[in-house]
Structures are given as structure tokens and as C-alpha cells.
């Protein structure tokens, strides 16, 4: 990208090149909006070796392939994709209805900004777990429970979510164990009673080691030396929502730390939108893509209405 194109006023700047951001880019590109996508390559879709619940891929698709297909799709309709990390967003000095985005490489300007910055799942602090991501270490029962049916499953966590996961996984396997990894159980009495009702075992020791074979978990070794064969591990340590850029603009968050949005993905800051896992929606790839589509349509409509109000409607020139 040249300095000249970096300084131009884009109609829409999308921060984040995951499924939400790229879906919005497709809709905005097809609306003939000058659209820039800024991404620094950390989509959690790349953690998924096989996605089996994305409509239209009955044989499954890797998260990496899904992203590459989506990038091609967005470029096909004119969106410009740039590898850069956005450090700050502020109101534009020359046009207070627009935004200035400071990247590591360049500065960008946009009339509308969509934050599709997502979240990061907290990995269990167990050596070797990162090597198993998307193969036998997971974070989402709705995404990957079906993949591990009939297997020996361990849920790592000590809060209500761990208890909920363990009980939900009983629909897929009779062999489900909770490992609190040295943390005292912090689940409520309700969840404690439900675990007891269904006989879900709980191990309180720290996990000393995870043994795997090419990313396929084989066993956990607990402090004290006992080794337990397992086939799959689900982590419930929580998530980090990437809301820092929105915080700098004063955008409202919900009680969970996610960006609050309306039905059309508008935040509490005029001209700023959010879509995907940084919002309160259930964090699923296909939901993120749907939210991105919603945001793209909303941005296009809002730009249309603004242009109409300022007697600056874009009119297509006659051919020839």
C-alpha cells in the first residue's frame, strides 16, 4: 500500500481479518464501498484443524482454508486487505465524524470503523497443550463435542463453566472427568449437586504433564505420579476479549467485558461497529460471519443515509 492510499479517506475500515471482518468486507465490497481490512494474522480460526459445523462444508474444512477462501471472496469484490496491527483509534482531526487509525506500519482514515478483533481463549498452563490445539485440545463443546464422542474426556477448570461442560459432555461420552489443576473448586452449590447427581469424578491435583503423540493427547500425569489415559481435553479457563481499541473511544462494554452492540452491530460510539467474538454473541465461526454480514449492511445503509442528508449521494456514471 502506498502512502497516498494509506492517507485516503476509506468509507469503511475493518479491524480484524477473521470470519466476521471478511464477511463484512464482502457485503461492503458488493455495495461498492471503498473498504480496507487491517489484520495482523492472529485469527483464532487458525487454531481449528477441522471445522465440521460450518454450513456448506459437509466434509469439514480447516480454519486456515476457510480464512483463505474468505480472503479471496473479499478481494473479489474490491476490498483491500493489508497486514498491519492497529495500535490506536481516535476521532479524525480534520473530520470529527471520521476516524484515524494508527497502525504499526501506517496511518489510516475511515468514515466508519468495524471492530472484528475477536477474543483469545486462555490456554491451560500445561506443557504440551499448545501442540494439541484443534487436534485433541479444545475450548468449545458445541464445536467439538461431536468429534470426541465415545472418547475419554477431561475438562480442565474449577468454575461453573467446567461443571457445565462436564455435564454437557455426558451426551457424547460416558467417560468424563474434571481436573481442577490444583485450584479449589469455585462452582456454585447448584453445580456441585449436579456433578454429584451424575457421578462426575473430580481430580484436584495439579496436572504435572500432558503426553501426546503428534498432537493427539494420550494421557495426563497428575502430581503424585498417577497417569490417566485420555483422548481429549477441553479448557475452561476463560477468554480475553480484544476491546482495547474500543475502550480508547469510550465504547460501552457488558458485564462480561464484551462490546455492547445493537441489533445492527452498532456500538455506543457513533460510526463504530463491532461484530464476531468481541461481542456478546455465541462465539461460533458461522455466527461471526453472520454478524459481519449484518454489520456490513448496516454500515452501507448508514453511509447512504449520511450521503443523502448531505446531498452527496454517489451516482453511477452512464456507461460509454
pLDDT at 202 over 60: yes
Q: Which one-letter DSSP state was computed for residue 158?
A: S
pLDDT of amino acid 6: 56
Round to whole Å and give the CA distance between 178 and 202: 5
Q: What is the pLDDT of residue 96?
A: 80
Rounded CA separation 248/233 (Å): 37
Predicted local distance difference test score (pLDDT) of residue 300:
98
pLDDT of residue 4: 46
Percent of the chain scoring above 70 in pLDDT: 98
Query: How high does pLDDT run on average in the chain?
Result: 95
pLDDT of residue 237: 86
Whether 246 shows a pLDDT value over 80: the answer reads yes
The strand pair at 207-213 and 216-222 is best described as antiparallel
What is the rounded average pLDDT of the residues 192-219? 97
Q: What is the distance between the alpha carbons of residues 290 and 284, in angstroms, rounded to a whole number?
A: 10
Q: What is the pLDDT of residue 31?
A: 98
Q: pLDDT over 90 for what percent of the chain?
A: 87
Average pLDDT over residues 259-285: 96
- C-alpha 226/C-alpha 228 separation (Å) is 7
- What mean pLDDT do residues 60-75 have? 97
Domains in the chain, ordered, with CATH? 9-118+242-310 (3.50.50.60), 123-235 (3.50.50.60)
What is this structure's pTM?
A: 0.93
Residue 1, pLDDT above cutoff 70: no
Q: Once rounded to an integer, what is the mean pLDDT over residues 188-212?
A: 97
- The pLDDT tens digits of the residues spanning 295-307 come to 999 999 999 999 9
Dmax (CA) of the chain: 81
Q: Answer yes or no: are the C-beta atoms of 99 and 271 closer than 8 Å.
A: yes
pLDDT of residue 315: 92
Query: What is the per-residue pLDDT for 97?
Result: 85
For the ranges 121-130, 156-165, 242-251, which has the lowest average pLDDT? 121-130
Q: In terms of C-beta density within 10 A (0-12 exposed, 13-18 middle, 19 or more buried), how is residue 135 classed?
A: middle
Cβ count within 10 A of residue 220: 24
Q: Determine the average pLDDT of the residues in 30-38.
A: 98
Amino acid at each position: 500500500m502506498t502512502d497516498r492510499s494509506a492517507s485516503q479517506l476509506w468509507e469503511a475500515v475493518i479491524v480484524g481479518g477473521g470470519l466476521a471482518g471478511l464477511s463484512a468486507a464482502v457485503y461492503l465490497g458488493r455495495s461498492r464501498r471503498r473498504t480496507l481490512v487491517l489484520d495482523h494474522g492472529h485469527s483464532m480460526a487458525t487454531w481449528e484443524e477441522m471445522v465440521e459445523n460450518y454450513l456448506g462444508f459437509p466434509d469439514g474444512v480447516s480454519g486456515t482454508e476457510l480464512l483463505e477462501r474468505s480472503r479471496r471472496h473479499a478481494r473479489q469484490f474490491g476490498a483491500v486487505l493489508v497486514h498491519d496491527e492497529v495500535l490506536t483509534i481516535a476521532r479524525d482531526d480534520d473530520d470529527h465524524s471520521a476516524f484515524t487509525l494508527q497502525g504499526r506500519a501506517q496511518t489510516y482514515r475511515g468514515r466508519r470503523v468495524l471492530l472484528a478483533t475477536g477474543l483469545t481463549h486462555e490456554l491451560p498452563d500445561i506443557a504440551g497443550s499448545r501442540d494439541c490445539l484443534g487436534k485433541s485440545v479444545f475450548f468449545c463443546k458445541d464445536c467439538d463435542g461431536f468429534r470426541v464422542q465415545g472418547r475419554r474426556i477431561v475438562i480442565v477448570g474449577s468454575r461453573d463453566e467446567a461443571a457445565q461442560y462436564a455435564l454437557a459432555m455426558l451426551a457424547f461420552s460416558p467417560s468424563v472427568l474434571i481436573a481442577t489443576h490444583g485450584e479449589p473448586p469455585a462452582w456454585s452449590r447448584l453445580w456441585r449437586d449436579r456433578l454429584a447427581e451424575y457421578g462426575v469424578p473430580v481430580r484436584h491435583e495439579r496436572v504435572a504433564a500432558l503426553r501426546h503423540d503428534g498432537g493427539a493427547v494420550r494421557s495426563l500425569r497428575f502430581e503424585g505420579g498417577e497417569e490417566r489415559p485420555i483422548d481429549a481435553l477441553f479448557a475452561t479457563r476463560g477468554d480475553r476479549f480484544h476491546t482495547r481499541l474500543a475502550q480508547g473511544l469510550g465504547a460501552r462494554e457488558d458485564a462480561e467485558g464484551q462490546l455492547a452492540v445493537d441489533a445492527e452491530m452498532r456500538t455506543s460510539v457513533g460510526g463504530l461497529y463491532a461484530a464476531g467474538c468481541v461481542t456478546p454473541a455465541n462465539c461460533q465461526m458461522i455466527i461471526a460471519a453472520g454478524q459481519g454480514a449484518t454489520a456490513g449492511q448496516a454500515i452501507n445503509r448508514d453511509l447512504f443515509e449520511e450521503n443523502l442528508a448531505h446531498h452527496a449521494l454517489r451516482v453511477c456514471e452512464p456507461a460509454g
